[in-house]
Amino acid sequence: MKKIIENIDGINIDRRTLLKGAALGLAGTALPLDKADASFWDAFFQKHFREMTEKDLKKVLERLEKEYEEKHKKAVKVGAEKALPDVLFGYGLDLSRCIGCRRCVYACVEENNQSLDPQVQWISVLRFKKGDKWMDLENSEKYYNPQQVPEPGYFYMPVQCQQCENPPCVKACPTRATWKEPDGIVVIDYNWCIGCRYCMAACPYGARRFNWGEPKRPPEKINPNTHYLGNRPRYRGVVEKCTFCIQRTRNGRYPACVEICPVGARKFGNLLDPESEIRYAIEHKRVFRLKEDLNTNPKFYYFFAYGK
Amino acid sequence: MVYYVKNFFMALQEITKGNWKYFAWLAFLSLLVIAGIAAYFGQVERGLIITGMRDQVSWGFYIANFTFLVGVAAAAVLLVVPAYIYHFKPIKEIVLFGELLAITAITMCIMFIMLDMGQPLRVWHILPVIGGMNFPSSLLAWDVIVLNSYLALNTLVASYVVCKFFTGKEYNLSIITPLVIISIPMAISIHTVTAFLYNGLAARPFWNASILAPRFLASAFCSGPAIMLILFQIIRKVTDMEIEDKAIFKISELIAYAMGINLFLLGAEVFKELYSGTAHTEPIKYLYFGIHGKSRLVPWIWTATIGNIIAFFLFLFPKTRENFKTLNIGCILIITGVYIEKGMGLVIPGFIPDTLGEIYEYWPTTHELVITLGVWAAGAMLYTLLLKFAIPIHTGSLRAVPRDKLISMKQAP
């Protein structure tokens, strides 16, 4: 009982073929088949970072470099340096030195290719009133905007990813798209993240950022030295955050925020090396970590070098 | 095989028959669905930036609706408890409609989750084996498992029962009873796991209270049956399906108990939070009184709370719960009350103030509202269509064509 539909062109097609064609046509509008773009499917079926063989990884990095060059009109190198043995990165922040200038915020944006429109920043600097309730987050101010810093009567506390040893975000992620590397850095595979934002609900430090819109950055502002798990250009609809500048620190450099800080409030080093700056701070200063009652065990230490 | 397929399509044809009211209803829903799809294209084009959500409040209206609907799905099936354990026949006859509602609600839940995802095409990453499901660590992975199993189980039970009715046979109790018994703990589990999803986050004191899962269940036991009561009255009015008053009154009695427990648990939580008065009290203060001059949810939550209290008394006294006027007022108060309380009233204060103390007042954008309305319309359409052939099958007016007749039909020119 095949029903034949006669159309105006006089071509006879039965209903099933017609439906099939319509379905394919619809699918075609939903997926970029028309681009004849094999790289879309390569990206779609890309494996989880930790399940790639060396060969897979090489191919993926090449594809990404090609994609970025097409999209951003600039050659971008995507590295994937592994964690160095016997390294566990730790960070120190001297609250008595910080003047709240936010240079770290902007140096971070420059280094890590965050979107400029809409603005994404990985470091939040909070301003507290001196002599008030200690670390009263509810009364802190993130959008302070004075003529000059530091302002009398206030102190400042920058907050970024605390690189927890026991990270709630990693526990929460339903797809294992975020994990802790052997050198202690919590990273995200931007090609595996589904954008559910459960990690953002789980993070006690407000460290994670979501790309609500298409991240935009002019080519001249793109830092071409990138790492797969760090500052390579991101996509819309995925989560990102501070990685202790993985692309720098795994190559023996300081994170950008440490380098830029004009007052030397930021310290960085290997927690396993007794001679490191961060070990010195931990041993000689009174250090504390944010929200210690949550047992997240951050590798980000706050301290006071001197009183003023 | 051909026999089953042919008959299935014949039953399916039922959805193309109806009076003008039926088609007007479908047309109305289609308009809303189309508007929703159009708004969703905007989201696909520009990203979730078209919503009111931002880093400070990273979940909003979609997840709020999702949470409410999980409760509806759970409670719709929990009607089977009195039906099968006490062999209360008037309810037993309408259990099927509860299951179809559960199927609809879970489908809507899945739609809301998909809408909320930043990278919906990567949804397969959440699957076990081919993806990277983070089981058992992530509660979201648990939710994927329980919601999908629950959907599968209800689809199985409902289609088995409908098939049996359709072919004019009695369903086999030794097959159906174990499945129904399993569906009871599963209904509880979907809402418990959804509560744990929030509950397990130490970063969010508003959710990190052990009373959360019991509160979820208690409120779901109110809203789910309240929706069923409204639907039953509509069904028996527009179709020839008979639903006894006895069943409706029994369910409304259950709602009274559930609402009593719900209000008690709410009181316990409010007391603990406000009396101890720690820094963790800020979210509940924001919700009920507003903080730092920000109080967008305050009128809503008071509407919900007062509505729930009034509804409790309406359902408590046999005189008011057995009067359809007051019964329906009670149902509407409960549906809106729980929708606010277990939707926006649950999700948003978890993020206000945010973990660093910032207050960003979220409100859904028009885009978000239109998309959400589209999902509700799609749900209403799905339920209408399911009922359209389930009801005549249930009442016996639609029956499968016997095998021999089908063959003779085929031979006809």
Q: Give the per-residue pLDDT at A6.
A: 42
Residue A224: both structure tokens together: 């071409």
User: What's the pLDDT band for A12 if we cut at 50, 70, 90?
Assistant: very low
Are A305 and A225 contained in the same domain? yes
Total domains in chain A come to 2
Q: Which residues of B touch A171 (CB under 8 A)?
A: 137-138
Cβ-based contacts of B121 with chain A (< 8 Å): 44
Structure tokens at A156: 């400042």
Q: Looking up tokens 């071409």, which residue turns up?
A: A224
Same domain assignment for residues A174 and A126: yes
First-to-last alpha carbon distance for chain B, in angstroms, is 22
Q: Domain containing A177 — which CATH number?
A: 3.30.70.20
Which residue in the block uniquely carries the two structure tokens 């509505």?
B307
The string of DSSP codes covering A39-97 is HHHHHHTPPPGGG--HHHHHHHHHHHHHHHHHHHSS--EEE-PPPPTT--EEEEEETTT
Nearest to B50 by CA among B59, B39, B34, B37: B39
**Same-domain check for residues A5 and A139:** no
Q: Are B143 and B204 in contact (CB under 8 A)?
A: no
For A31-62, b/e burial (b = at least 16 CB within 10 A) is eeeeeeeeeeeebeebebbeebeeeeeeebbe
Determine, for residues A118 and B279 on separate chains, whether the beta-carbon distance falls below 8 Å. Answer: no
Residues A13 and A87 in one domain: no
Residues A86 and A1 in one domain: no
Burial B53-66 (b: 16+ CB within 10 A, else e): bbbbbbbbbbbbbb
Cβ atoms of B283 and B350 closer than 8 Å: yes
Rounded Cα distance, B164 and B174, in Å: 14
| pLDDT above 60: residue A19 | no
Q: How far apart are CA B193 and CA B204, in angstroms?
A: 17
Secondary structure element (H or E) that encloses residue B24, with its range: helix B20-46
Contact A80, A70 (CB under 8 A): no
Segments forming the whole domain that contains residue A273: 54-308
Q: Domain check: are A61 and A155 in the same one?
A: yes
| Residues A238, A193 contacting (CB under 8 angstroms) | yes
- Using alpha carbons, select from B263, B270, B351, B348 the residue that is nearest to residue B304: B263
- pLDDT tens digits along A262-291: 999 999 999 999 999 999 999 999 999 999
Same-domain status, A229 and A165: yes
- Written as tens digits, the pLDDT of chain B (413 aa) is 677 788 778 778 888 888 899 999 999 999 999 999 999 999 999 999 999 999 999 999 999 999 999 999 998 877 777 776 667 777 777 788 889 999 999 999 999 999 999 999 999 999 988 899 999 999 999 999 999 999 999 999 888 888 888 888 877 778 888 888 888 899 999 999 999 999 999 999 999 999 999 999 999 999 999 999 999 999 999 888 888 898 899 889 999 999 999 999 999 999 999 999 888 999 999 999 999 999 999 999 999 999 999 999 999 999 999 999 999 999 999 999 999 999 999 999 999 999 999 999 999 999 999 999 999 999 999 999 999 888 888 888 888 777 667 665 555 54
What average pLDDT does the structure give for chain A?
89
- Tokens at residue B388, please? 């359209």
Question: Measuring CA to CA, how many Å separate B42 from each of A24, B45, B52, B118, B122?
Answer: 23, 5, 14, 14, 19
* CA nearest to B354 within chain A: A206
Residue A27 has pLDDT above 60, yes or no: no
> What single-letter amino acid sits at B113?
I
Domain B2-411 has CATH 1.10.40.50: no
Residue with tokens 């009133």: A129
Residue A5: predicted pLDDT: 43
Based on the fold, state whether residues A61 and A194 are members of the same structural domain: yes
**Residue B129 backbone zone (phi > 0: left; psi -120 to 50: alpha; other: beta):** left
**Which chain A residues contact residue B53 at CB under 8 A?**
212
Q: What radius of gyration, in Å, describes the C-alpha atoms of chain A?
A: 24
Residue of B346, B348, B296, B351 lying closest to B56 (CA atoms): B351
| Confidence check: pLDDT of A34 > 60 | no
Looking at chain A, which residue has its C-alpha nearest residue B203? A204
pLDDT in tens, A230-273: 999 999 999 999 999 999 999 999 999 999 999 999 999 999 99
Does one domain contain both A26 and A108?
Answer: no
Pair A77, A30 in one domain: no
Backbone angles phi, psi at A300, to 5 degrees: -120, 110
Q: Which residue of A has its CA nearest to B122?
A: A194
pLDDT at B96: 86
CB of A32 less than 8 A from some CB of B: no
The answer on A139 and A13 residing in a single domain is no
pLDDT of res. B276: 93
Closest to A115 in 3D by CA, of B352, B121, B47: B47
Q: pLDDT digits over A99-156, tens only?
A: 999 999 999 999 999 999 999 999 999 999 998 887 889 889 999 999 999 999 999 9
What is the torsional sign of CA B49, B51, B56, B60?
Answer: negative
Q: Chain A residues with CB inside 8 Å of B49's CB?
A: 118, 212-213
Contacts of residue A85, defined as CB under 8 A and 6 or more positions apart, other chains included, come to none
Residue of A138, A194, A212 lying closest to B123 (CB–CB): A194
A275 and A307 belong to one structural domain: yes
